[in-house]
Chains A and B, each alone.
Chain A
Amino acid sequence: MTERTLVQAVNAAMTRAMAEDPTVLVLGEDVGADGGVFRATEGLLGRFGPQRVIDTPLAEVGIAGLAIGLAAQGFRPVAEIQFSGFLYAAIDQVLSHAARLRTRTRGRLTCPLVIRAPSGGGVRAPEHHSESPEAMFAHIPGLRVVIPSSPARGFGLLLAAIADPDPVIFLEPTRLYRAVREEVPDDAPPLPLDRAFVLREGTDATIVAWGGMVPEARAAAEALAQENVSCEVIDLATLKPLDEDTILASVARTGRIVIVQEAPLTAGFGAEVAARVAERGLLSLRAPVRRVSGWDTVMPLLRLEQAYLPNATRIAAAVRETMAFA
């Protein structure tokens, strides 16, 4: 039995990748001696040494630039940014260079790096520590954007992200780091970086979620089942490239879709999902598309955090609204 939390699964995936491939490096603030702000890199320094586990200065743009240089020179760096809210400082390097190296060199160079960052709210953190910036990165051509929602998917997706030849933004939902344990064997296979996961099958409505919203979506589906409303729950897992076919096939069956995102509403990734459904699945829709999201305001501090975050109650209410269209 190797039951792991999400943060332990992330640690195990990096440990295995470093053991199997000597070009895999880990770098970031406090990732060495301290084992990372969330202990995701605990034990790596002792096992792989300071040449491969590098404590960096407190400068996210430098971490990203260093990782890009290493990647262009044949390494597979896994950079940790302590919170996704600090990714903004690194975004110029990511957007202007990491995402473009392949096209700029006509494929002569690729940029096989992973930038990991704890993301999302729900852990009563201070400002900048509860951001959900996934849509910003999904908008940048040349990046994969991945958000696991369970220990097993965290393990398999991070293995695949490290092996991928192109840059991957890997956002780990902080609130799920220690929320559940599940069996994650050391030899579990990588998971595809272009597929969504149907976590629950249903016939009346499709609930699409990712990251920290996935357990809320499942709880909503559970509650609705008591009312004889059968919900399909899809974890996107990889936002880009988006597994449009899985979503459209589900909507073709259910005719109703509720999209859940923790980020603010406007121009969030839910809008992209809604647009794809409008373009290719419109004639299946029996009810208007509904989004359940955070609000168009700065993520509040701890006392109002729960008023901001979507939850199972709000998701279930949205599904009921769509069910009013028989």
Chain B
Amino acid sequence: MTGAVFHLPDLGEGLQDAEVVAWHVAAGDHVVAEQPLVSVETDKAVVEIPSPRSGRVLRLLAEPGARLTVGAPLVEFAEGMEADTGAVVGSLPEAAPPPPAAPPSPHPTTPAIAAVPAARARATALGIDLATIRGSGPGGTVTLADVERAATAPGAEPLRGVRLAMARSMARFRGEVAPTTVCDDADIGDWASEADVTLRLMRAIVAGCRAAPALNAWLEADGTARRLHAQIDIGIAVDTEDGLFVPVLRDAARPAEALRADFTALKAAVRDRSIAPEALRGATITLSNFGMLGGRYAALALVPPQVAILGAGRIAARPAVHGGALAVRRLLPLSLTFDHRAVTGAEAARFLAAVIGDLTRPE
């Protein structure tokens, strides 16, 4: 027959063990709750351990003189006895449940983005709007890890360098300039196959500027004064992964060999990011040869104070009238965007006609 084992209880005051001095009960005795079972001696005093329950003692599990640690088996009771309902102060029957308290008054709630402070601080530093982040923390709280993830997610990348410069100058363009665009094609079917498109376009721009000097000009920011330039400095748009660079080729009226060497050097400087800031400033007119990438015509964006930009679309073989008959010809689509505050439509048309006239020459 086995029973319930009662262990040496925690004697209080941090005492860890006790020595059995004398048993006050023997195996087979009936005991009642709180009846002294055994005397033990601690570091401080001899204390009596009361029975935790009423019942019959089955076995004593420690001899007098034994040193027991707290929790060691002390005595075994026969099973099936009544449970202990006693307490030091006697029986404590449960009271009737108290009446419920008044419910708390409701608080108005303000909708707010839940985000931990470290996430708020990081989002502020990165310029990220917390409202764009879905929180993964408890209750949808935005955590620091959520902000770090958002910072590296596509679309949330802050603009830097030339991209930021482009964003600013385009916003300015939208606010100030009165852009107008005219389009036409140049028949280049007579070109030699090895012709350099960029060099031909630069030469054509020079011809256009000579025919219509109003396009090689700067308009003051307030739009009340213009500066006509004798020298033609062409900004040439160069696409890179980091954004749009527009290095300036000075004095485009120089011989083709010199222009080719300069343009090659400028492109190399853009590619290895060694281009000097002054090489990106001071263009009097711009060429965008976007046709190398695709697209036919475009309403281009002007960068003030310049008043004209010429776009060259994708060269393709198309049906055209040549020598009075329909033929398949290589056509170069052209778009000229000009600031109508500074340039008249007639000036623009003269410019474009001169450009086309130059481009259609075999060489």
- Listed in ascending order, the chain A residues whose CB lies under 8 Å from chain B are 38-39, 122-125, 174-179, 255, 282-288, 301-303, 321, 324-326
Contact = CB atoms under 8 A, between A and B. Distances in A.
Contacts of B119: 286
Contacts of B13: 38, 123, 125, 174, 177
Nearest to B149: A326
A284 B117 CA distance: 7
B16 interface: yes
A192 to B, nearest CB: 27
Contacts of B143: 286-287, 325-326
B306 to A, nearest CB: 46
A326 B144 contact: yes
Nearest to B124: A283
Contacts of B137: 287, 324-326
B116 A125 contact: no
Contacts of B14: 38, 122-123, 174-179
Interface of B: 9-16, 43-44, 87-88, 116-121, 136-138, 141, 143-146
Contacts of A39: 43-44
CB-CB nearest 6 A-B residue pairs: A326-B145, A283-B121, A124-B12, A177-B14, A325-B137, A286-B118
A181 to B, nearest CB: 10
B43 A124 contact: no
Nearest to B137: A325
A89 to B, nearest CB: 21
A324 B138 contact: yes
Contacts of B118: 255, 283-286
A282 B11 CA distance: 44
Contact of A123 (B10, B136, B138): B10
Contacts of A302: 10, 12
B43 A285 contact: no
B17 to A, nearest CB: 9
A102 to B, nearest CB: 35
Given A301-B88, A325-B116, 9 more contacts: A123-B10, A123-B12, A123-B15, A178-B14, A178-B43, A283-B117, A285-B116, A285-B117, A286-B116
A151 to B, nearest CB: 13
B146 A326 contact: yes
B12 to A, nearest CB: 4
A268 to B, nearest CB: 23
